[in-house]
A = this chain, B = another copy of it.
Amino acid sequence: MERKLMESRPVVLKLGGSAITDKLNQEPNPRSDVISRAAAEIIKAHVKNLVIVHGAGSFGHPMAQEFMLKDGFREEGQKMGFAVTHNMVSVLNGLVMDALLVDDFPALSITPSSCVVASDGRIKRFEDQPLRMLLRMGITPVMYGDVVMDERIGFTVVSGDQLASVLAVKLDARKIIMAGNTDGVYDGDPKSPGAKPYSRLTLADLKKIEDKLGESAGTDVTGGMLGKIVELKPAVEAGIPVNVVNATRANSIYRALVDEKVEGTLIEKG
């Protein structure tokens, strides 16, 4: 009985923008091979109560940065940047949806800017009834990093990481799978030869790493992964484990979804 209950708790799968798009490119550039394979692995895993969140990658970041959308509304010229950024990330979302729907996987996109309001960059209101009703019906909701209105600073950007964390806590998820473009959380720059991924990290470990980085935290030596994990801390603190895996490696997403052993970093409360 308890096991059955456990199994029905949702899984939140975050597809990193760095995996499903070419982020080095300043032009919006999807990685169609990664998107298709991720979709195939999601369909094959057949997980009950799955929620998918994807990042914006090169469809969102370059323009969001150019117009400084995260810091809020300051001048008229930003409005078009805000509008076009949403349009771009919804194009990326369309590509993800196409990959799922073409193989008869019932999924529906939930547009963050239509149901989320932030306050100072943090999610404040979230109309989650449509999402919960979709889950109950067995249709997989798909959210994504997006621009949203903000009651203090006008508008802002809400990352897929923040959405994944908030959704996991709201839905009492069984786990979060962070599928990015590295083999987990590294003990240094993932591109440097000596760096290795941690296999397991606790909140206490994370605290130690953060302390060690100290004032150099601005230049995140872990390749930006630590910043993403800070966003997921509330979920880990709530007892939801986070599995950081590599979406660009075949079967990583599938294995993580069906709870098989998979290369990557497991972050747990303690």
Interface residues of A (CB under 8 A from B): 73, 79-80, 82-84, 86-87, 90-91, 94, 97-98, 101, 104, 106-111, 113-117, 125, 127, 129-130, 133-134, 137-139, 148-149, 151, 154-155
Contact = CB atoms under 8 A, between A and B. Distances in A.
Nearest to A84: B101
Contact of A113 (B91, B101, B108): B108
B98 A80 contact: no
Q: Which 10 A/B pairs are nearest by Cβ-Cβ distance?
A: A127-B127, A114-B114, A133-B149, A111-B111, A79-B106, A111-B114, A83-B106, A114-B115, A115-B115, A110-B114
B73 A137 contact: yes
B127 A79 contact: no
B83 A107 contact: yes
Contacts of A90: 90, 94, 109
Contacts of A129: 117, 125, 149
Contact of A79 (B130, B133, B137): B137
A82 B108 contact: yes
21 contacts: A79-B106, A79-B137, A79-B138, A79-B139, A80-B101, A80-B106, A82-B106, A87-B101, A90-B94, A91-B94, A108-B113, A109-B111, A109-B114, A111-B111, A115-B130, A125-B127, A125-B129, A129-B149, A133-B151, A137-B149, A137-B155
